[in-house]
Structure 1
């Protein structure tokens, strides 16, 4: 069951089939959106207990590669009809009216006559057709090769249809004159840079030597030898905090009496 509608109350009930989410009722018709190939098959509508069957066919036509086909390339045209009874005939009709007798057409290679409207035809109670428009374009032309100067040991060999300017195309050791000029200018620039670097290095060394000499001249002179004088050492100072002892009195001499 997809959808059931009560004629009296108008209440609807939906089933669990995968097509239910994309289906809706419009009056007495079933509307299916975003139709897929698996939707094809027989549908039954019951009204007042009377069944009415309807067969849904899903047709898809495609070209691989898609878009505009290039002349001389390969392409495949495919016509698929889902829900068709087994044994039914599906075939392509070319733009010129010829029938291919198959639902798959291989274009090897793609020709100008393949451009136009292709029709996929099949029968189910009556004849149906689905069209596919094919466009064919020619590949982009390849540019002609540039003329080259042919040199050979044989002096009779010449370049046909070549206009040679002796100033612009003159070769020296396989290179043009402007290439040698560029090489000479580049070498001159390199030599000047080397000379500049050498001069700057010498100037920096001279400045460093001059600064080192000035630093040495500013240092005070220090003698490695010192004068020594021999003189008696001074008496030791009495220690502070101690009481100085008085010298002892000399012994009394006896007085001589006459």
Structure 2
């Protein structure tokens, strides 16, 4: 807080004197500051009163100071450049020869507790301007509408999917910083099963969240005697199912993260109904999701066919590396067909080459005809023309 007061005093003083530049830069950006003296003059740069470096204008010799800025700053002529800005780089940069000051404010934007939020949880959006906490900023919602408050920190209560998306903090016309909010909830699907099967009841988060899971369980109002496990988070932050009765419900004994599925064993018609998965998080946030179980007769031909079709469709709709499974199958079948076609074309071309080579060879073996070799094929002299017919058979058959 004391540093902010000092920076505010210096800012007011340098603006009054007319020898001050004010920069608002995003974390990671670069700032360039000009001393305003001849390049042959001696130059001394300081950061918050601590020496950065001095440059001898005649010899060009340099002497580095003790400021942490020395590790990345560079000077060319009377210009000082500081790349890869961090929040600790905010402050007063002073060139002694010209008396010119440069006030640098490094701006950062982030979300508490994190950019991935649970439905119904609370969040804080920060657009922190180091050294200038009272400066007003303008927030833009994901839909482009302006937020009514102009504070650097805004509070969102019980977030929903309407708050999901890119929020933008406008510090100046040329400085816009954005942060993306992701709002997630529990996911599940309805399930079908045949009598006697073991069926998995799905309940999961699409991705990890920053809120810690502190408890949870499964419930089924129509099965009051069935014992479901409960979620337990140990002091060492290991989340697992806690339960002893495995006669009807089975569950993993390993560490959990985003998947809270359990398996209902040997399902019967009486098990059909609605099951509720509830997960509790830090901040007294509780999410619940319902899934419906439908139990059918295993010996029903139509039902089995229906389940088979449903399973087949769900299998084809399975997402693999960002694409549905049926797309991968179609691409694979097309590739096999194309490869087979290329092989057939290659075999035909090779066969034609061999036929042409054979014809050329037979033609090269043929003796040239003379006047005495000609014959006339009549019934009485058939044997005299046999040699000619044999050659023609070799050529064309």
What's the TM-score once normalised by structure 1's chain length? 0.49
- Structure with the larger helix share: 2
- Structure with the larger strand share: 2
What's the TM-score once normalised by structure 2's chain length? 0.33
Higher relative contact order structure (alpha carbons within 8 Å, sequence separation ≥ 6): 2
